[in-house]
Amino acid sequence: MKRVAHFSLGWSLAASLEEQEKDKARIKALLREIGLERKFNPNRNWCPIEVEVGSRAFDVLIQACGEGDVGHLGLIERRYTSRELESAPLLHWRFTNQAIEDDYYTLHFKEGQAKGISPYTRDCEVCGAPLEQVRDMWVRVQKMGKRDLSATYGWEVILSPRLAQMLRESGLTGFTLRPVWSYRKPYQGNPPLFQLVATSTLPPMAVPPTEFEEDWPRPRQCAVCSRTSQYIKHTHWWGRIQYREETPIYYPRQVLEVAQDFNRTAEYFGELRGSQPYLIISQRAYRWLLEHKIKGWTAEPIYLVE
Ligand SMILES: [Zn+2]
């Protein structure tokens, strides 16, 4: 695994011309120092730079991130090698597009506005958490294009009929498929898309070492529906510089005795309204998705502890 820092070097267009020139000169000097002078563009007031944490370039750039200086560290990203990914028994399955926006009703209507249609989830009346799916989703199908896999804004997993059929024949476990309809003509003909619903729920994560955000109002729980939702820890400090880095998820090793190929976490994430579990896939499912060249997702290893 390597940690890649995403810096941005820039100057404020609201500053005086003199100050802007000073900042440009400083950025140019910093880029020269780390051998990336070619990245300097005097006509663009921000310059994204990726460097590995621990490298000399990182040391140089982090020094330029103090208050009023030209650097900003936004994110440290963890990049895993194929070998690390191929040796993880379980992986966190994440989606890289949200082409299918959301259920059409949820997106465009408030409750009571569209006659005879109700939201596709039954939500808690107090916190708004989706508690149960009560009808098939109706979406703007053409947004899927030629994709096989898309998430919605609410992180529901949408599949092309091709991928749905392949999964049905795959022998992979822990999921069911639900039709997804065009909002223009729901329940007519063959479903134009499908929703993958994970049916296997994992036991709780190992906490610690799994860490959750503390600054964010901690495990937020609704007194009425008792849904609890949180965030995996991602706020960190490098001295006085705040940046974002997702921390890993850990499970007790015994999780392997119950995990299927597709699983949902017992924990919910995000704001209560719209809170969703994460999806965790087996190594077998990971390889299947790779072998069948399915696009639109990425995965990160889950760590096991004794
Ligand atoms: Zn609630």
pLDDT at 66: 81
Domain spans, the chain = 2-79, 86-202+218-227+258-301
User: For residue 302, how many other CB atoms are within 10 A of its CB?
Assistant: 23
What is the 291 CA–ligand 1 centroid distance (Å)? 41
Tell me what pLDDT residue 149 has: 98
- CA 228 to ligand 1 centroid distance, Å: 9
Buried b (16+ CB within 10 A) or exposed e, 121-137: bebbeebbbbeebebbb
Q: Is there a contact between 19 and 85 (Cβ–Cβ < 8 Å)?
A: no
Question: Whole-number mean pLDDT of the chain?
Answer: 94
Cα(89) to ligand 1 centroid in Å equals 34
Tens digit of each residue's pLDDT, the chain (306 residues): 999 999 999 999 999 999 999 999 999 999 999 999 999 999 999 999 999 999 999 999 999 998 788 999 999 999 999 999 999 999 999 999 999 999 998 888 877 777 778 899 999 999 999 999 999 999 999 999 999 999 999 999 999 999 999 999 999 999 999 999 999 999 999 999 999 999 999 999 999 999 999 866 566 899 999 999 999 999 999 999 999 999 999 999 999 999 999 999 999 999 999 999 999 999 999 999 999 999 999 999 999 999
The Å distance, Cα 214 to ligand 1 centre, comes to: 21
What does the pLDDT look like over 146-184, one tens digit per residue?
Answer: 999 999 999 999 999 999 999 999 999 999 999 999 999
User: What is the distance in A from the centroid of ligand 1 to the CA of 204?
Assistant: 20
127 alpha carbon to ligand 1 midpoint, in Å?
A: 4
Residues with CB under 5 A from ligand 1 (ion): 124, 126-127, 129, 222, 224-225
107 burial (CB, 10 Å; 0-12 / 13-18 / 19+) is: middle
- For residue 56, the 8-state DSSP code is H
Cα of 126 from ligand 1 centre, angstroms: 5
Centre of ligand 1 from the C-alpha of residue 121, in Å: 13
Centroid of ligand 1 to alpha carbon of 210 (angstroms): 25
Report the separation in Å between the CA atom of 227 and the middle of ligand 1, taken as the mean of its atom positions: 6
Question: H/E/C letters for each residue in 151-164?
Answer: ECCCCCEEECHHHH
**How far, in Å, is the centroid of ligand 1 from the Cα of 113?**
23
Q: How far is the CA of 131 from the centre of ligand 1 (A)?
A: 9
Q: What is the pTM of this model?
A: 0.91
φ, ψ of residue 210 in degrees (nearest 5)? -60, 135
**Amino acid identity, residue 207?**
V
How far is the centre of ligand 1, averaged over its atoms, from the C-alpha of 250 (Å)? Answer: 27
Residue 198 CA to ligand 1 centre (angstroms): 22
* Strand, helix or coil for residue 250: strand
d(CA 71, CA 237): 15
**Dist CA 5 CA 107 (whole Å):** 35
Task: Give pLDDT, residue 116.
Answer: 77
For residues 77 and 83, what is the distance between their CA atoms, to the nearest angstrom?
18
Taking the centre of ligand 1 as the mean of its atom positions, its distance from the CA of residue 215, in whole angstroms, is 21
Q: What is the pLDDT of residues 70-119, one digit of tens each?
A: 999 999 999 999 999 999 999 999 999 999 999 998 888 877 777 778 89
Instruction: Look up residue 80 and give its DSSP letter.
Output: -
